[in-house]
Amino acid sequence: MNKDIKKKWNTEYAKKIAKIEGIKMNKNHWKIINFTRNFYIQFKIIPSIRILLTAINQNWKHKIDSLTLINLFSTNPILKISKISGIPYPKKCI
């Protein structure tokens, strides 16, 4: 894993990218962004939507689905989540 992932990313960076993507961040957005970053740092893989949802639903009391991600991040949520969280983009985004 590239150790720079922890150094270069910060919340100001995330806010700028979110604004460019037309996303007004709230606590639900931040929970998903932080979860995704931690997932990537821990497992060294870029999660697909299916993997991300499975991991979230195994760890959170409140369950979410793909429609929730679409409502929060608009079209192509995993790409936007990757951009905002400062992790590499998945090779295949649906």
Would you please indicate which residues are annotated as catalytic (active-site) residues?
Answer: 93
Regions of the chain with pLDDT less than 50: 1-2, 94
Question: Could you give the C-alpha distances from 32 to 15, 27, 53, 59, in angstroms and in order?
Answer: 14, 9, 10, 12
pLDDT at residue 1, as a whole number: 43
pLDDT at residue 91, as a whole number: 74
Pairs from 73-76 (Cβ < 8 Å, separation ≥ 24) = 73/21, 73/23, 73/29, 73/32, 74/21, 74/22, 74/23
pLDDT at residue 63, as a whole number: 93
| Whether the Cβ atoms of residue 70 and residue 32 lie closer than 8 Å to each other | no
Residue ranges of domains in the chain: 4-85
pLDDT at residue 3, as a whole number: 52
